[in-house]
Chains A and B, each alone.
Chain A
């Protein structure tokens, strides 16, 4: 199947700093990517849909000014957690739709663990 990578795999930062997480589709072009968040012992929650060349659409309750999403190319979407606080500590996972396959086929990245001190 298709491959999606994330970088970094983990990051520790001080409260108040901004952290950028990259999501790349390695062997296909993805016009649509998704960002999810997973708190310990909880399930994945969709944060936003990233669309290449247009603004991201955010789910209810997700602050768009805090979680900046940029889908500048067909293989890269970035999530920037601005002014991170300890409550933002979580596991962030992206997924990408492979247009070569059935529309519903999403490939997930390995995730990025963020710890804000």
Chain B
């Protein structure tokens, strides 16, 4: 059974700093991995999707990497802003669109 873990569970950093969120998964047989953002009491917004054959994806200040063999992914956020405060979730897809989500990292950017 796939298990997805995110460390740290919570993170607070001053505005402007760069930061890294971590995601690990136990079964490397994945089709893709996604990073989502969830604001309190809201649904999910997809940030980045990395196919299993890819090493990284970039969108604006966000960069996600994937090391499938070691079961790890990182989300790098550059020049953090207060608006980046949210919970970040990673999720893996084994190929049937049934996503297994991580436990999430609650990020707070301090102005």
Contact = CB atoms under 8 A, between A and B. Distances in A.
Interface of A: 1, 4, 6, 32, 34, 36, 42-46, 49, 59, 91, 93, 95, 97, 103-111, 113
29 contacts: A4-B43, A34-B99, A43-B89, A43-B103, A43-B104, A44-B89, A44-B91, A45-B101, A46-B98, A46-B100, A49-B98, A91-B41, A93-B43, A95-B44, A97-B97, A104-B32, A104-B49, A105-B46, A107-B46, A108-B36, A108-B43, A108-B45, A108-B46, A109-B43, A110-B42, A110-B43, A111-B41, A111-B42, A111-B43
Interface in B44-64: 44-46, 49
A56 to B, nearest CB: 13
Contacts of A104: 31-32, 49, 93, 97
A12 B42 CA distance: 17
A93 B98 contact: no
Nearest to A5: B43
Given A43-B104, A104-B31, A104-B32, A34 B43 contact: no
Given A34-B99, A36-B101, A108-B36, 7 more contacts: A34-B97, A43-B4, A103-B97, A104-B93, A105-B49, A106-B97, A110-B42
